[in-house]
Amino acid sequence: MLNDKQATELISKSLRYELSEEEKKKVTLNLESNEDTREFAKISKVIQNSVAEFAVKAESGDFTVAPGMSAQIKNRLQSSVAKAIEQKKSESQLSATGAMGVDPALTIPVKPGDTRQLVSRFTLLRKLGEGGLGNVWLARDEKLKRNVAIKQMNSSAMETPAAWQRFHREAEITGHLEHPNIVPLYSFGIDAQSGEPFYGMRFVGKRTLAEAIVEYHELLQEGQADEMGLHRLLTAFLGVCQAIAYAHSRGVIHRDLKPENVALDSFGQVIVLDWGLAKVEEDGELGIQLANETSLSDAALAQTMVGEVIGTPLYMAPEQAAGELDKIDRRTDVYGLGAILFAILTGCAPHEKSNLSAGGGLQVADVLRAIAEGATPVPRDYSPKVPRKLEKICLKAMSRKRFARYESASDLADEVERWMAGQNQKQSRYDTLRMEGRELRADMQSSVRDLETNARFMSRLPPIQELMHTKNDEEFALWRERLSTIFSGLLTANGDYQHIVYGKIDGDQFTELVRVERHSTEHANIRSVPKSRLRTSATSEYLNQVIQKKPDEVVSSLVCDPMCDKSAGCDQARLVASVPIYDEISEEPFGFVMIDCDLNRVFSDQMSRRLTACEVVVACDTHDIMLHNKNNIMVEDTIHGTIKDSLPHFVDAVAALQTQSEFIDETDQEIYGNRLWLIPRQHGLMYLLSLKDSPS
């Protein structure tokens, strides 16, 4: 026995004289097996003969009808035939006036017994795309005067029963999915002349999400990307997620998600296309509706696809690549959504680095095996600037283990939406972080500038030259006392200064002439060092640099002991500024004036303010940590380490600061860094700030 759908299809083919002998037998047996159908056949034959006889007469102008018909039927028949003849004449005239290039009309068949006229005409304008199953055309709906998209089955595909089944099924599924982000279906029918099935749907333009992704990443590489570019792509992605979530609620799994199957119009609407490979869950809402349609069930379709790989390899989930149809479920679509997110973040398909896509020698089977068995691709391997949080979301969606993926498309959308919502607040916090980092550097620049100004001023004092030339011990002591008094006043006025030295350099030796310093344990206690405790020793590399400078040139640096070459941890480094002293009479270099600044006190003053940064680090050129502050608490156990060993999350910033003065984290907006050069391109400080605590 044939069901109603199958019987209708066979009768339709019979009217087109397309039945095979076997199909004719099926129709005959089906008609003879039921009393109602036998009666219907007799009545249909009588009507067909009467209409045929009347049509032949009408062609010659004779509109007389057989006397056996009622007056009402006669009038209807005469009117219908007259209209049909008039329409045929109009079409002939249109064809004769230059419309020969227009494709034949596409008509929608009317169900048996339906008295309404459901004929609609579409004129094909140009081909938009083609695939293995059908071609998509831009068409004109002549009745409603609007452009639509027509998907028409390929002539070659028509020879395959499975292709008919899949095409009909695609139209049926698409027609049942009514959602703003799923392409709406307008009609389904068969071309009156070619017999090719088609369906009409909304024309959404030719631009796809794939094209938008390519455009964004090309602009990004050229440094011209709009700041809203990523936001717009992610907004489109949310629309795709919502469409898939709705489809899942109806029991439909897309199975071929990729940017090419997402259309974008000029006003932000996102439309998911191509449901030809969709799977209908048997216990889902749509599956129950189609349960009686054997030819449209997923079980029937699966029989024709056993062992086939369904989907597009570049975006394919491992279970799809393995051809495990029984394991394909909603989480397979979640993987597909994660693959689209991957493309948005990197500009590449997840499996694009395979030899197949690169033109290598691998066969398709080898690539599919690599997808099924290989590790999940990592977005930051393709693009290091991918935000880490978005990468984490993407990797979870694309997990090889299905149970580790998001439970639903809605859950994935929620995660992305939360990230987007937090960006404005995060951007504001990061802007504040950068401002704080720049203020810290500006404060240190001010301290260095003041230090250099004071060193230069001290080198010009009258006692400097007097102590250089006096031979009288009493006068020497007098001038030494006067210079010590001035030095003491400078230390009193500047709490960060540790000591001031006026010294003489003779060959490779130096001798201190005056030294004023703070007490080691009592900060307010300032003293002049007695002559018997003044130092004489070999000159350090730093002092050799100072004595080679011209008058009034200041050498600022970070040194452990500026007077001699001693090594010490960078937490003991000092900020010093020195000026060479020249004999005004001989104009030869004589010695130096040096001011030593206590860096720890400068850092402490900077850290005393309220900072947005959760973590602040100051390091020197050797990457040794000089200061480490977390949540306004000094961390002592990392001071003697290096950035690489103790705080690896700052490594990228330190690497960038080797060639630039500022590091701005465009990826995660969590770290900011800047550099203050004391000796240009040779020596200085690095400030590193983070909105996130380093791992404990």
User: For 33-57, what is each residue's pLDDT tens digit?
Assistant: 666 666 656 655 655 556 556 555 6
Q: What is the per-residue pLDDT for 84?
A: 56
Using CA atoms, how far apart are residues 513 and 516, in angstroms rounded to an integer?
Answer: 10
Q: What is the per-residue pLDDT for 361?
A: 54
CA 361 to chain CA mean position, Å: 30
User: For 112-134, what is each residue's pLDDT tens digit?
Assistant: 443 333 345 788 888 887 776 78
Q: Residue 671: which H helix or E strand, with range? A: strand 671-679
Given CA atoms 450, 573, 593, 523 in this order, what sign does their dihedral have?
A: positive
Confidence check: pLDDT of 410 > 50 = yes
Most confident of 13-17, 272-276, 553-557: 553-557
Say how many C-beta atoms besides its own lie within 10 A of residue 534's C-beta.
14
Q: What is the per-residue pLDDT for 78?
A: 59
Domain boundary among 565, 598, 631: 598
User: Which tokens in the block code for residue 318?
Assistant: 């491992």
Confidence check: pLDDT of 398 > 90 = yes
Domain assignment of residue 306, yes or no: yes
At residue 492 the predicted structure's pLDDT band, cuts being 50, 70 and 90, is very high
Confidence check: pLDDT of 295 > 60 = no
Share of the chain above pLDDT 90, in %: 39
At residue 405 the predicted structure's pLDDT band, cuts being 50, 70 and 90, is very high
Using CA atoms, how far apart are residues 413 and 240, in angstroms rounded to an integer?
Answer: 9
Q: What is the per-residue pLDDT for 93?
A: 41
Q: What is the per-residue pLDDT for 197?
A: 85
Find the length of the chain.
696
Assess whether 633 and 561 both reside in one domain.
Answer: no
Better pLDDT: 9 or 649:
649
Domain assignment of residue 416, yes or no: yes
DSSP-based three-state secondary structure for 204: coil
Confidence check: pLDDT of 10 > 70 = no
Confidence check: pLDDT of 222 > 70 = yes
Assess whether 406 and 475 both reside in one domain.
Answer: no
Q: What is the per-residue pLDDT for 8?
A: 59
Assess whether 613 and 513 both reside in one domain.
Answer: no
Assess whether 586 and 456 both reside in one domain.
Answer: yes
Assess whether 244 and 353 both reside in one domain.
Answer: yes
Q: What is the per-residue pLDDT for 115?
A: 38
In the block, tokens 């996102």 appear at 270
Q: What is the per-residue pLDDT for 303?
A: 45
Assess whether 315 and 230 both reside in one domain.
Answer: yes
User: For 52-78, what is each residue's pLDDT tens digit?
Assistant: 565 556 556 565 655 555 555 556 655
Confidence check: pLDDT of 103 > 60 = no
How many independent structural domains does the chain possess? 4
Confidence check: pLDDT of 471 > 80 = yes
Q: If we measure between CA atoms, which residue out of 146, 167, 148, 140 comes closest to residue 156?
A: 167
Contact predicate 189/106, CB 8 Å = yes
User: For 494-508, what is each residue's pLDDT tens digit?
Assistant: 999 999 999 999 989
Q: What is the per-residue pLDDT for 610?
A: 82
Domain assignment of residue 14, yes or no: yes
Domain assignment of residue 529, yes or no: yes
Cα-based distances in Å from 187 to 122, 200, 294: 11, 5, 22
Assess whether 399 and 456 both reside in one domain.
Answer: no
Contact predicate 48/32, CB 8 Å = no
Range of the domain at 15: 4-96
DSSP-based three-state secondary structure for 374: coil
Share of the chain above pLDDT 70, in %: 76
Given CA atoms 632, 633, 635, 636 in this order, what sign does their dihedral have?
A: positive
Q: Out of 309-323, 485-499, 558-572, pick the least confident.
A: 558-572
Beta bridge partners of 191: 106
Assess whether 617 and 526 both reside in one domain.
Answer: no
Using CA atoms, how far apart are residues 187 and 183, in angstroms rounded to an integer?
Answer: 12
The domain that holds 400 is classified in CATH as 1.10.510.10
Domain assignment of residue 462, yes or no: yes
Using CA atoms, how far apart are residues 357 and 351, in angstroms rounded to an integer?
Answer: 8
Domain assignment of residue 104, yes or no: no
Domain assignment of residue 162, yes or no: no
Assess whether 529 and 611 both reside in one domain.
Answer: no
Domain boundary among 80, 96, 112: 96
Cα-based distances in Å from 546 to 75, 534, 549, 553: 119, 20, 6, 8
User: For 330-378, what is each residue's pLDDT tens digit?
Assistant: 999 999 999 999 999 999 999 887 544 445 555 677 778 888 888 899 9
Domain assignment of residue 334, yes or no: yes
User: Which tokens in the block code for residue 19?
Assistant: 């039945």
The domain that holds 631 is classified in CATH as 3.30.450.20
**Using the 8-state DSSP alphabet, how is residue 482 labeled?**
H
Using CA atoms, how far apart are residues 462 and 239, in angstroms rounded to an integer?
Answer: 79
Q: What is the per-residue pLDDT for 274?
A: 87
Contact predicate 329/338, CB 8 Å = no
User: Which tokens in the block code for residue 310?
Assistant: 């369904």
Q: Out of 83-92, 163-172, 458-467, pick the least confident.
A: 83-92
At residue 87 the predicted structure's pLDDT band, cuts being 50, 70 and 90, is low
Confidence check: pLDDT of 620 > 60 = yes
Using CA atoms, how far apart are residues 278 and 262, in angstroms rounded to an integer?
Answer: 15
State the DSSP string of 476-538. Answer: HHHHHHHHHHHHHHHHHH-TTEEEEEEEEEETTEEEEEEEEEE-SS-TT-EEEPPGGG--EEE
User: Which tokens in the block code for residue 427?
Assistant: 């951007």
Assess whether 460 and 421 both reside in one domain.
Answer: no
Domain boundary among 96, 131, 159: 96
Confidence check: pLDDT of 594 > 90 = yes
Q: Checking phi first, is residue 309 left (phi over 0); if not, alpha (psi -120 to 50) or beta?
A: beta
Inter-axis angle of helices 330-346 and 209-221, nearest 10: 30
Confidence check: pLDDT of 251 > 50 = yes
User: For 430-456, what is each residue's pLDDT tens digit?
Assistant: 899 999 999 999 999 999 999 999 999
Contact predicate 614/688, CB 8 Å = no
Q: What is the 3-state secondary structure (H, E, C) of 340-352?
A: HHHHHHHCCCCCC
Mean pLDDT for 289-313 is 54
User: For 164-205, what is each residue's pLDDT tens digit?
Assistant: 888 888 888 888 898 989 988 888 888 777 777 888 888 887
Assess whether 17 and 47 both reside in one domain.
Answer: yes
Assess whether 611 and 583 both reside in one domain.
Answer: no
Q: What is the per-residue pLDDT for 305?
A: 46
